[in-house]
Amino acid sequence: MKKLIVTLAALWPLTTLAADPWGKADPVAGHDLHEKACVACHVRLYGGDGSKMYTRDGRLLSSKLDILQRVAACNAQVHAGWFPDEEGAVAAYLNKQYYHFKD
């Protein structure tokens, strides 16, 4: 039994990583980054606060990993110049605010 607990404890970081591909990234920091580099264009496309991009029918993403990959691609595309931890923060923010994916 003790051995099982030790094994589970050792696996804990892995399971957390699998649950959140962005680790412990800060969604609050992600909000600000997203506001600066991303919102204006989505607003031009969809009006309002631009959030319809993330909530529309037929949206493109269906998992946490999708969000992270898409944020990384957009970062490169619009030359936002974010580091991976900043991409993670924006992905964490988008999931918390709009997508609500469990995995």
Task: By CB under 6 A, name the binding residues for ligand HEC.
Answer: 34, 37-38, 41-42, 45, 53-54, 59-61, 70-71, 74-75, 78, 80, 90, 94
As a whole number of angstroms, the distance between CA 81 and CA 85 comes to 12
**Least distance between ligand HEC and beta carbon 84 (Å):** 13
Residue number with CB closer to ligand HEC (7 or 31): 31
What Å distances lie between residue 97 and 9, 10, 15, 16, 59, CA to CA?
31, 31, 23, 20, 15
**Least distance between ligand HEC and beta carbon 60 (Å):** 3
* Contact partners, residue 42, CB within 8 Å, separation at least 6: 50, 51, 52, 53
**Least distance between ligand HEC and beta carbon 17 (Å):** 21
Tokens standing for 53? Answer: 């991009």
Residue number with CB closer to ligand HEC (6 or 45): 45
